[in-house]
Amino acid sequence: MQKVVYISNSRDVTEQTDVNRNPYLVHLNKLLEEGWVISQMNTQTVEVDPKLEHYLHKETLVSFVILEKPD
């Protein structure tokens, strides 16, 4: 069985929180604990336009992860 999981993470340079508290990563970590394994991961870094009024972070990580659960 396969499942596709989307991950997005934007961080500003002063952020002090633990990255593993990101809701996407919490969900992915739970699936991994349930026995799912990562079979493929496609990652892109999207730069944020510094001209934006609310420019807080330098980049956004976007990834599609294909998980498989062995029978």
| 3 within 8 A of 70, measured Cβ to Cβ | no
**Across the beta sheet with 2-12, what order do the strands follow?**
2-12, 57-68, 37-47
Tell me the three state secondary structure of residue 6. Answer: strand
Q: How many domains does the chain have?
A: 1
| 33 within 8 A of 20, measured Cβ to Cβ | no
Give the bridge partners for 65, in sequence order. 5, 41
Query: Which residue range(s) make up the domain with 39?
Result: 2-68
Q: What is the pLDDT along the chain (71 residues), one digit of tens a residue?
A: 888 887 777 766 566 777 777 787 888 889 999 999 999 888 887 777 667 666 555 667 788 889 999 87
pTM: 0.64
